[in-house]
Structure 1
């Protein structure tokens, strides 16, 4: 019995899960997935007419949302630092501009989001109208951040595709070119990894953008649709974080 228990408790997947959960981002992605599943499931139950059970899931969604806002209180400064670092990077001009704009968009979103959190827990007292305006402005900054992220991803995808095509066209053969070929293959591998990472971010942004767009009044989507979109983007983010902390590509 002790052997079976040790095999379960010390199983590599359990250890990997603990390592994933030991990171702030890992916990946030887990809470976010539960939050958006709750959003979808509450909508589903309401449509079935089960309002009592739906209220439980709506409460879970609300509490997880508040908890996640608390976890993000220091994030605005991180995005300001990222914007400043991007300004000194050697990336192409348009990619640099869209990166800075993206980070500033997220800075604005999280700054207003902190005010929403403070209002929710009654740390500050604002009228319902003011709270609604602050929440809408947060969504507007979030939309802007994701929009610039999508533009950045598209620009980067085009650049990497051109570089990959040029490298493949320059392929040489022969023993005298072995060193050059090894260097080229290394660069091809780097570009492939960068393209995979960029495509993953694009997919995440495509699912995420509908949430703030709906909150800002730009689109009108059901709670169920937004819940599914948020759940998928959360799982994509969780997958990337799992691979990062566990050393997998």
Structure 2
């Protein structure tokens, strides 16, 4: 791997910043100052240090984001802000992407990583990875709706797999409901369409969990953090290199 790419991957700075750092003699390879960005290193064997601090190469990185409304789950878009626009430059240099998608007006948990194998496993229909949503609904959800979800709601283009609908609260005066919905699919607008099939309308939708990952309530909307050691352990169930 080129030394400049290694330094960027370690979060030292952007490519432009890294070149300046190298020219200033602030980087050493195997305890010898190295100023060439083109120098090739073995990222697993060579000792690379920045300002005397040895750097550790990370092949994969993982960020837990509390996605706000108005931002799309994509790496680039000509009209809207993307989830990558919420990250700092160090995180973007890792070339992460969102695992799956949340609609532009849906908020909540979103995993961003550069681990393609993990993303494939988490999104594979064969894996039946569960996702938990909380929804505010215009209309009163009923036990009949609970039964419909459990049986598998039939939409125009496909029949949903059985899903769990948990009615948390209803307001007869305002004619609203708060519910949690657990599904093992991820079709386009699926939760909203399932509720609509019951004659009600989702007015707010938040994703609380995806697989073993749970939304961190300490994260403000638009904020993100690295996955902690426990969360990485939980992802080991997918059987890929982390």
TM-score scaled by structure 1? Answer: 0.25
Higher relative strand content: 2
Task: Give the TM-score taking structure 2 as reference length.
Answer: 0.25
